[in-house]
Structure 1
Amino acid sequence: MKEFNIEIEIDENGNIIADTRGFHGKVCEQELDDLLEGIDGESEDKKKPEYFAKEQIVTKTNIKNKL
């Protein structure tokens, strides 16, 4: 099972640094937006290489032919 984490650091000046682990693509942005909703102030985004990686989706399908 894949693990997803969000690490939040608040420094002595009240600045928030948030980092995600295990997320790929825009889902990490959405999760951070939901988590930090309502917090005012300036923000700066730094996207990691994982943001640009495509999530691999593996599906398994069983098809049986009826003869």
Structure 2
Amino acid sequence: MLYLMLSVGIGGFAGTRGRSVIFWAFISLLITPIVAAGILLILKDKNPRRAPREEQKAESQ
């Protein structure tokens, strides 16, 4: 039950990063939710509202 809840949570996290909720929830069921979360953290954020802020941070450094 906890595994399923974590997988759904990973789907929600993917949604905040501009990725497909259903796809990432399914992927986290196939592999572990921790590995799926790690992959999501490595991938670039596709959310158009958040991406410019990250680019501004990179430019200021």
TM-score over 0.5 for the alignment? no
* Structure with bigger gyration radius: 1
TM-score by length of 1: 0.21
User: Whose helix proportion is higher, 1 or 2?
Assistant: 2
Richer in strand (by share): 1
